[in-house]
Amino acid sequence: MKDLTKGNPAKVMLQFAVPVTLGNVFQLFYSLADTRIVGSILGEKALAAVGATTSISTLFIGFLSGLTGGFALLTAKSYGAGEKDGVRRYSAGCLLLGTLTSLFLTLVCVGCLPVFLKLLNVPDDLLADARSYILIILLGMIMTMLYNACANILRSVGDTAAPLLFLMGSSLLNIVLAILFVLNFRMGVSGAALATVISQSAAALLCLGYMIKRYPVFRFRLEDFHITKQEVRELYSSGLSMAFMMSLVFFGTLSLQSVINTFGTEIIVAHTAARKMTEFFMLPFSVMGITMATFCSQNMGAGKGERIYQGIRKALSITFIWSGAMILLSYTLSPFLIHLITGSDSPGVLHTASSYLRINSLFYMVAASISIFRNALQGCGDHKTPVVSSFIELVGKVGIALFLTPVFHYSGIIAAEPMVWIMMVIPLAIKIKRSGKEEGEKRYERTCNPGRNASLP
C-alpha cells in the first residue's frame, strides 16, 4: 500500500503512475498484436470487421471501468482518512455492485446486438465476422469488469505494481492464444476474440486471489457484502458519475464510427489503425487522470486541499512535455507506425491514418488538461462538472457526424476531436480555477485562524 498524502507530490505521483503506464502499455500491446495478427493472417476485410464493432465493446467495457473506478474512489478516500472499515466495505460494495451491473449489461448488449450493428451501419460483407467477434467479447465482459474492479481497488490504496504484473502475463497469454486460435486452429476473428476473453479472465482471477491473500483488509466476510442503502447511494453516486463521464465520450465515438463505416473498408482500416496509435500517444493522459483521481481522493480524505493543487500543476507539466514529443513522432514516423500495426502498404490507408495523427497531435495539450481536470474533480467529489464536459463532447461529436461529415467526409472526422476538446476544457478549467481561488481563501483563513482543516470544495 502507498500513501499519496505525504512526500513530494510529483515524486509520489510518478511512482504511482509508472506501473499504471506500463500496465496500459501492455494492454495496448496485446490490442495492437490482435490488430496485426488479424490484419496479417486474415486480411484487411477481417480487420475492418473487427474495427467496425470495437466502439461497442469500448462503450460498455468503458462504462464498467468507469463505474468500478468511481466505486474505488471511496475506498481511496477512506484509506486517506485511515478508516480501515470503510476501505473493506466500499471494496466489497465495488465487487458486488460491479458484478450485478455487468451481468445486467451483458444481457442487454447480447439481446440488442442486432440493433447495435444496424445503428453502426456495418457493411453487409463484414456483418458475419463483426457479429461473431463482438458477441464473444461481450460475453466475456464480466471478467474484464472483475479485473478492472480489483485493479482499481488495489490502486486506490497505492498498489499499482500487482495489477501491472497480472496484465503483463495476460498480454503475453493473449498473443500466444491469438496466434494459436487464428493461425493454427483457423478460428478466424472469433479466435482473436476468444483469446482476449481467456487472457482477461486469467488476469481477473489472479488479481482477485492476490488481493485477498496479500492484504488482510480485503479478506471479506459475508456481512461485508450486506451493504446499506446509504452505501449503495454513495457508491453509485461516485461510480455512475465516472461511468457516465466515460460513456458519454464513447457514445460520441460511436456516433462517429457509424458514419466512418459508410466510407468503405480502406477508411475503416485507416481509422482503426489511427485510433490504436492515438491510444498509445495519449496513454500518459489517461494514466495521469487515474493517478489524479486516486491522489485527490486520498488527500481529500486526509484534508489536504492545498496539496491537491500542487499535484494538478505537476501533472500538467509532465503531460505537456509528453505532448510535445508525440507531435514530433506524428510528423516523422506516422506512415511507418501505421504499417507496423496493420501490415498494410496501401497508400490510401497510410496517408489517411497519418493525417489523422498529425492534426490531432497538435491539440494534445488540451486533451491532457481535460483528463487531469475532470479526474481531479471526480476525486474531489465533484460529480457534475466532469459529466457536463463529457456531455459537451457527445453533443459535439454527434453534431459533427450529422453536419460536417456529409460535406467534408473523413476530413470532418479528423477535425472532430480537436474542435470538441476545446469546447470540453472550458467548464473544467473554470471549475478548477474557481475551486483554487476558494482554496486560497481558506488557506488565508487558516493562517488567521490556525487549527482549521483544509478541504477542497
pLDDT tens for the chain, 457 residues long, are 667 888 888 888 888 888 888 877 777 666 667 777 887 788 878 888 887 787 788 888 889 999 999 999 999 999 988 899 999 999 999 999 999 999 999 999 999 999 999 888 888 888 999 999 999 999 999 999 999 999 999 999 989 889 989 988 888 898 899 999 998 898 989 998 999 999 999 999 999 999 999 999 999 999 999 999 999 999 999 999 888 887 777 777 777 777 888 888 888 888 888 888 888 899 889 889 888 988 998 888 888 878 888 899 999 999 999 999 999 999 999 999 888 877 778 888 899 999 999 999 999 999 999 999 998 998 888 888 988 988 888 888 888 777 878 888 888 888 888 998 999 999 999 998 887 666 555 654 554 555 444 444 3
376 part of a folded domain? yes
Q: Cα separations (Å) of 147 from 87, 152, 153?
A: 18, 8, 10
293 part of a folded domain? yes
- Domain with 201, as residue range(s), is 9-445
Q: Whose CA is closest to 428, among 404, 456, 401, 392?
A: 392
179 part of a folded domain? yes
The confidence score (pLDDT) of residue 438 equals 66
324 part of a folded domain? yes
The Cα 204–Cα 143 span in angstroms is 6
166 part of a folded domain? yes
Residue 15 neighbours by CB under 8 Å, 6+ apart: 2
451 part of a folded domain? no
Range 229-254 burial, b when 16+ CB lie within 10 A, else e: eebeebbbebbbbbbbbbbbbbbbbb
Judge whether 162 and 207 are in contact, CB under 8 Å: yes
Alpha helices in 120-264 (DSSP H): 127-139, 141-156, 161-179, 188-214, 229-260
Judge whether 71 and 99 are in contact, CB under 8 Å: no
450 part of a folded domain? no
The Cα 88–Cα 339 span in angstroms is 47
Three cell numbers at 74?
471511496
The confidence score (pLDDT) of residue 437 equals 64
Q: Whose CA is closest to 87, among 257, 261, 297?
A: 297
The confidence score (pLDDT) of residue 268 equals 85
Q: Whose CA is closest to 389, among 241, 280, 262, 266?
A: 241
DSSP character for 226? -
The Cα 177–Cα 159 span in angstroms is 29
Judge whether 380 and 300 are in contact, CB under 8 Å: yes
Judge whether 73 and 238 are in contact, CB under 8 Å: yes
Return the SS3 of 336.
Answer: helix
Three cell numbers at 267?
477508411
382 part of a folded domain? yes
Count of CB atoms situated within 10 Å of the CB of 294: 31
The Cα 204–Cα 145 span in angstroms is 8
Structural domain total, the chain: 1
The Cα 335–Cα 354 span in angstroms is 6
The confidence score (pLDDT) of residue 401 equals 75
Judge whether 376 and 308 are in contact, CB under 8 Å: yes
